[in-house]
Amino acid sequence: MLPLFAFYSFFTTFTPSNNSETMIYRFTIISDEVDDFVREIQIDPEATFFDFHQAIIKSVNYTDDQMTSFFICDDDWEKEQEITLEEMDTDPEMDSWVMSETPLSELIEDEKQKLLYVFDYMTERCFFIELSEIITGKEVKAAICTHKEGEAPKQTVDFEELAAAGGSLDLDENFYGDQDFDLDDFDAEGFDMGGNAAPTGEEEQF
């Protein structure tokens, strides 16, 4: 017969909890085109990438009529998985992800995870995103923009306007940013905005 303390230990170890842990993902978004541009969005991990996409475009007042994609990146900003706005014709043997069908938590689990959000496919212009914090014990019902600073870059480049002005468009890496920069440089001056607080301050719920 098991001693009482052994039985108690077995029971407490294997009895499932009735309370699932709630949490919030706090993302910080910056642009390499506009130095003072920052957006912070807090969102439920079980929300989809489409929900996140909607929150981003609303926070920067972009129209929702452009092809966009998220890319999960490694620590050096090398693109890995792509999450597309719409189903793409891809190799059926290759994994594919669509925003509306993919929860954030399926591909994002750890703090400091890096992502790109490509909002202008013609030039591959994008926002740089980092999961700055996982806030446990709290929840949000809808995505919230908790910090807004600076004007967003233009959503698209007007080629006709540039041509009429006699300008030329150089689409090398310097046009849409050097992807080798280190986001840790932003920690002291605004990239890491939120601390460990719940959504406070300037908020927009989407």
Mean pLDDT throughout 47-63? 97
**For residues 168-183, average pLDDT:** 46
The pLDDT tens digits of the residues spanning 79-114 come to 999 999 988 766 555 578 999 999 999 999 999 999
The residues near 140 (Cβ < 8 Å, ≥ 6 apart) are 24, 42, 43, 44, 199
Choose between 78 and 200: higher pLDDT.
Answer: 78
pTM of the predicted model as reported, rounded to 2 decimal places: 0.73
User: How far is it, in rounded angstroms, from Cα 114 to Cα 121?
Assistant: 19
- What's the average model confidence in pLDDT over 152-162? 79
Q: What is the percentage of the chain residues whose pLDDT exceeds 70?
A: 66
Task: Determine the Cα–Cα distance for residues 42 and 59; give it in Å rounded to an integer.
Answer: 12
Q: Which of 5-19, 45-59, 174-188 has the highest mean pLDDT?
A: 45-59
88 bridge partner residues: none
Please indicate whether residue 164 or residue 118 has the higher confidence score (pLDDT): 118
**Cα three-residue angle 196-197-201, rounded to 5 degrees:** 135
Q: What's the confidence (pLDDT) of residue 18?
A: 40
Judged by phi (left if over 0) then psi (alpha if -120 to 50, else beta), residue 201 lies in: left
| Superfamily holding 20-205 | MM3350-like (3.10.290.30)
Residue 161 Cα to chain centre, angstroms: 31
pLDDT the model gives residue 90: 61
Q: How far apart are the first and last CA of the chain?
A: 58
Per-residue pLDDT, 92: 59
Least confident range of 34-48, 54-68, 144-158, 185-199? 185-199
Res. 162: pLDDT tops 80? no
Residue 13 has pLDDT above 90, yes or no: no
Domain residue extents for the chain: 20-205
Rounded distance between C-alpha atoms, residue 157 and residue 146, angstroms = 28
CA dist list (Å): 3 to 12, 13, 169: 15, 16, 78
